[in-house]
Amino acid sequence: MAGLDRRPLVFPCFMPCGRCRERCLARGVPHRKKCPMSVRQDLRNVAIVAHVDHGKTTLVDAMLWEAGAFGARATEETTGERVMDSGELEREKGITILAKNTAVHYSGPSAADAGCPEGIVINVIDTPGHADFGGEVERGLEMVDGVVLLVDASEGPLPQTRFVLRKALAKKLPLIVVVNKVDRSDARISAVVDETYDLFMDLLDDDASDALDFPIVYASAKAGRASLNQPADSEMPDSPNLEPLFETILEHVPAPSYEEGATLQAHVTNLDASPYLGRLALCRVVAGELKRGQQVAWCRHDGSVQNVKLTELLVTEALERVPAESAGPGDIVAIAGIPEITIGETLSDPNDPKPLPLIYVDEPSISMTIGINTSPLAGRSGKHLTARLVKARLEQELIGNVSIRVKPTDRPDTWEVQGRGELQLAVLVEMMRREGFELTVGKPQVVTKVIDGKVHEPIERLTVDAPEEFVGVTTQLMGLRRGRMEQMVNHGTGWVRMEFLVPARGLIGFRTEFLTETRGTGIMNHVAEGYEPWAGDFRTRPTSSLVADRTGVVTSYALFNLQERGTLFVGPGAEVYEGMIVGENPRPEDMDVNPTKEINQFQERSEIQTSIIIQVNTVKIFQGMNGSIYPINPRMGQLIFLVVATICNWNIGITRCRCQENLFRFAIHCHNDIDIRTRN
């Protein structure tokens, strides 16, 4: 096995390895006794989790730069910022949507201290920060042996921090806390560390107090610096690089352990695609050895086992996948050759197949209907118009997204799509739109459950940061949505943090109203909390719709007149049909509007009084057949000029005409749709 260190090592069995734990229990040995296992010292698997915008992707980017993954001549202009955000939507929105893995080849001083002077491969899983993409986080935790938890030095722990920490503690993974952005002007490092300890105390069981002994690293990911010593607020760490972070990872994240001669077990945790190899399955090799061209047992979801052959084996080096001959325990590899493989399935030994447990994620809480475009404008902007294509695309999304559910409806051309939140469903619709699908999307609704004969609805834990003057209006908005305040903290900086438990349906459309009432200063975050009995009906939208009363193309002139009526959803040049919703009316009744009104050219044309003097030599205008010259007077000249203007279709008029020294002058006025130049 290439690069595999088979030196036996003794370590507590509760740290990385479930097989070791099972062996101890089978032998009757206490769970925390130390067991001899083989360990790969040249490998570490770690996931970086945090709340949104706390610096996960930036930290991975800094680790790749320090490890020399981009070459000596690479610059930020050639590689771009946050190279892990490779998707088009990710770069546009500035967020991580899909969990991705990369390999950092670290060869610093800490690698030599760990007994690997040639270097250590650190497989890093970059996870999303939004709660709507929590399924990506849960899937990423299945691939690692340790977790790096980032906390903003100013904002502190937020709802998604609680969510990912709860998942990490449930899997008994060792944790490293990184207090990021210590150089912020509003940093409060000591208070954030205390809040992090309080969060651990809230989530830990009484018998798991050992998890409080986590190391703390103080970092500025954007500057590429980290330190084990706490700096003063708003100051940089005392270390010039990320060496303290690498040292902490190698020390506290256990190396992958394995049992000699164990049966092959590789767990499929993610999917990808290649234009040459087809579907790629990303696997974590739990035990045994995986080789290119090997015959393996494919343990499927339904319990069946099928023998297949692996056509290709790829390992990750920095941001690229390169072919490899074999992979050992702990390796994260991509395999090709099984076109129908899905997440959660297992590759094992054909002679002794041993499937691993399936990956289970939290249930979805929000649903909306997606169907084909049935409007009069169907077929004008997309290329995928049929129900068969839409259904195939939704089924394809089910393969790689474990947190999505698709259910049929009463109509054959419409399906109910369930997800974690509005953002996840909005991203799915936007991706399908860019792929050429024309869709009809229904309004979001909550997914209810019947528990003990009663209807239960999903509950969200909402955290709101707002200035002190908006505390009253925020509380009022939450009261209308049946929200219960759990906690309110005033940091003494003019900002107040409020924590609510609110039904998920109360947050539908809440963000826009909240930002309006707080004048754009409020910050809100939420995460799923569970289910509670139905809270009753309540009206969250005191508004209605602006409805187009005719078919046509939207004009800027019409929108200029309609902007006082409400919030518009369409722009100039967009095509609308009769009955289409084009905006939001702040009043409770619907309003019919005409967004296609055009300018009346005769009434609205701006007339410009133009002082253009046309000089005509009276001597050269008329010449008789006998050669005699007939001078003309101003009236005759005015008549001739009008005849010429009529023939040339000039939209002009004459305001005055006078004669002076065989010349007569016309002062004319014209409209803005004609250009008249001075003529002699």
Q: Does residue 586 surpass a pLDDT of 50?
A: yes
Q: Does residue 241 surpass a pLDDT of 60?
A: yes
Look at strands 278-287 and 332-336 and give their pairing: antiparallel
Which region, left, alpha or beta, applies to residue 79 given φ > 0 means left and ψ of -120 to 50 means alpha? alpha
For 28-75, where are the E strands, in sequence order? 34-39, 43-50
How far apart CA 161 and CA 54 sit, in angstroms, is: 10
Q: Does residue 79 surpass a pLDDT of 60?
A: no
Contact 299, 311 (CB under 8 A): no
The gap from C-alpha 423 to its chain's centroid, in whole angstroms, comes to 8
One-letter amino acid for residue 132 of the chain: D
The most confident of 79-83, 201-205, 491-495, 514-518, by mean pLDDT = 514-518
Burial class, 68, CB count within 10 angstroms (exposed 0-12 / middle 13-18 / buried 19+): middle
CA distances from 233 to 185, 221, 585 (A): 8, 16, 47
Q: What is the pLDDT of residue 637?
A: 62
End-to-end CA distance of the chain: 96
Q: What is the mean pLDDT of residues 454-472?
A: 89
Contact 139, 359 (CB under 8 A): yes
How far apart CA 426 and CA 513 sit, in angstroms, is: 19
Mean per-residue pLDDT over the chain, rounded: 78
Dihedral sign (CA 110, 114, 117, 119): negative
Q: Does residue 264 surpass a pLDDT of 80?
A: yes
pLDDT class of 662 with cuts at 50, 70, 90: very low
pLDDT class of 170 with cuts at 50, 70, 90: confident
Q: Does residue 302 surpass a pLDDT of 70?
A: yes
pLDDT class of 13 with cuts at 50, 70, 90: very low
For 263-365, where are the E strands, in sequence order? 265-274, 278-287, 290-291, 295-299, 305-309, 312-317, 320-323, 326-327, 332-336, 346-348
Residues constituting the chain:
680
Q: What is the pLDDT of residue 610?
A: 39
How far apart CA 514 and CA 494 sit, in angstroms, is: 18
Planar angle of CA 171, 174, 179, nearest 5 degrees: 120
Q: What is the mean pLDDT of residues 277-284?
A: 85
How far apart CA 89 and CA 624 sit, in angstroms, is: 79
Look at strands 449-451 and 405-408 and give their pairing: unpaired
Q: Does residue 82 surpass a pLDDT of 90?
A: no
| pLDDT per residue as tens digits for the range 15-70 | 344 445 544 454 444 444 444 567 788 888 999 888 877 888 888 888 888 877 66
pLDDT class of 540 with cuts at 50, 70, 90: low
Q: What is the pLDDT of residue 676?
A: 38
The DSSP code sequence of 233-259 is TT---SSSSSHHHHHHHHHHSPPPEE-
How far apart CA 308 and CA 294 sit, in angstroms, is: 8
State pTM to two decimals.
Answer: 0.71
CA distances from 36 to 24, 113, 262, 263, 415 (A): 11, 22, 15, 18, 53
| pLDDT per residue as tens digits for the range 58-73 | 888 888 888 776 655 5
Work out the percent of the chain whose per-residue pLDDT is above 90.
8
How far apart CA 211 and CA 181 sit, in angstroms, is: 24
Neighbours of 521 (CB within 10 A): 12
| pLDDT per residue as tens digits for the range 107-164 | 888 888 877 888 888 888 888 877 777 777 888 888 888 899 999 998 888 877 888 8
Contact 419, 132 (CB under 8 A): yes
pLDDT class of 603 with cuts at 50, 70, 90: very low
pLDDT class of 648 with cuts at 50, 70, 90: low
Q: What is the pLDDT of residue 179?
A: 92
Q: What is the pLDDT of residue 634?
A: 58
Q: What is the pLDDT of residue 414?
A: 92
**Residue whose token pair is 């409805």:** 547
Look at strands 146-152 and 175-180 and give their pairing: parallel
| pLDDT per residue as tens digits for the range 339-381 | 888 888 889 888 888 888 887 777 788 899 999 988 887 887 7
For 452-606, where are the E strands, in sequence order? 454-467, 484-490, 495-503, 523-533, 544-548, 552-553, 567-568, 575-576, 581-585, 591-593
pLDDT class of 422 with cuts at 50, 70, 90: confident
Q: What is the pLDDT of residue 201?
A: 85
Q: Does residue 285 surpass a pLDDT of 80?
A: yes
Q: Which of 85-89, 338-342, 583-587 has the lowest mean pLDDT?
A: 85-89
Reading the block at residue 444, the tokens are 């979001």
Q: What long-range pairs does 21-29 form, CB within 8 A, spacing at least 24? A: 23/259
Q: What is the mean pLDDT of residues 445-461?
A: 88
Which residue in 405, 175, 139 sits closest to 283, CA to CA? 139
